[in-house]
């Protein structure tokens, strides 16, 4: 097939060269070429057929019945009001969910735990790193305690990793190469790091994949009024 194409191109090229010298062969060359014939300057005005024949190209449809009766400035004011109102509503909604508070001479973050339902994860940022907070269910706590610790790559009991069994707090940084694992994923119902396939269990312990260690536990404590203080 390739030699046939080469011969065809060579024939077309030589015929084109001939056409440059002889106008009589130009029509034959166009018939051989696979590209549409270009208009030559002498025939462009007579052969061109406009698709808008019989219509003026400057005719614009009448949209007046769709136009607002108000002035331009009234419409702009209404748009700004709607954008501002929706923005304020969104901000209020986000604020009412979880509102970490930074304070103290050292970077600490305070989280109101009452806003985290059982069985849910929340991620906050502390010292530029994600911190996972999970409000564990009774079944999850049982599962975390049912593991044979001696079989783990980084042997730690669940008790060593939590201050209150229902609250698991850990850095959201994979101990392999530092990606952020995904919650409620993986083969062990905990966290899964998609970067290279590390699976962590419901206590944040490495169970499968290349990560060498369990997810790190940061410094944290619980305040008397039911808040978590990280840092």
- Residue in the block written with tokens 């034959």: 28
DSSP-assigned states of every residue in 145-186: HSS-GGGSSS---SGGG-SBTTEEEEE---TTT---PEEEET
Six token digits for residue 56: 């003026």
**180 burial level (CB within 10 Å; 0-12, 13-18, 19+):** middle
Beta carbon nearer to ligand FES, 179 or 217: 179
Catalytic one among 135, 176, 196, 199? 196
Shortest Cβ distance from residue 173 to ligand FES (Å)? 9
Shortest Cβ distance from residue 194 to ligand FES (Å)? 8
- Residue in the block written with tokens 């079944």: 139
Shortest Cβ distance from residue 95 to ligand FES (Å)? 32
Beta carbon nearer to ligand FES, 37 or 182: 182
- Indicate the helix (H) or strand (E) that contains 194: none
Residues that bind ligand FES (CB under 6 A): 174, 176-179, 193, 195-198, 209-211
What's the CA gap between 126 and 118, in Å, rounded?
A: 22
Instruction: Yes or no: say if 210 and 198 are a contact pair by the CB < 8 Å rule.
Output: yes
CB within 8 Å of 158: residues ≥ 6 apart = 141, 144, 145, 147, 165, 203
Task: Indicate if 196 belongs to the active site.
Answer: yes
User: In angstroms, what CA-CA distances link 159 with 99, 132, 149, 165, 166?
Assistant: 28, 17, 11, 7, 11
Beta carbon nearer to ligand FES, 29 or 190: 190
Beta carbon nearer to ligand FES, 113 or 132: 132
Shortest Cβ distance from residue 107 to ligand FES (Å)? 25
Shortest Cβ distance from residue 177 to ligand FES (Å)? 4
Q: Which residues are catalytic?
A: 196
């Amino acid at each position: 097939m390739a030699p046939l194409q080469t011969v065809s191109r060579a024939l077309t090229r030589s015929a084109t060269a001939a056409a440059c010298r002889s106008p009589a062969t130009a029509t034959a060359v166009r018939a051989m070429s696979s590209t549409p014939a270009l208009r030559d300057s002498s025939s462009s005005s007579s052969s061109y057929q406009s698709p808008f024949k019989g219509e003026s190209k400057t005719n614009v449809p009448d949209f007046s019945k769709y136009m607002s009766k108000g002035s331009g400035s009234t419409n702009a004011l209404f748009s700004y009001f709607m954008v501002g109102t929706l923005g304020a509503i969104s901000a209020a909604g986000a604020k009412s969910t979880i509102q970490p508070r930074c304070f103290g001479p050292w970077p600490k973050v305070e989280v109101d735990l009452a806003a985290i339902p059982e069985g849910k994860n929340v991620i906050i940022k502390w010292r530029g790193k994600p911190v996972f907070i999970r409000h564990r269910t009774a079944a999850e706590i049982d599962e975390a305690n049912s593991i044979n610790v001696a079989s783990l790559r980084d042997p730690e009991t669940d008790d060593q990793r939590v201050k209150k069994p229902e609250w698991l707090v850990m850095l959201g940084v994979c101990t392999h190469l530092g990606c952020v694992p995904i919650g409620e994923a993986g083969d062990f119902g905990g966290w899964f790091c998609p970067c290279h396939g590390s699976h962590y269990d419901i206590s944040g312990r490495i169970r499968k994949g290349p990560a060498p260690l369990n997810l790190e536990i940061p410094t944290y404590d619980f305040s008397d009024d039911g808040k978590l203080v990280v840092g």
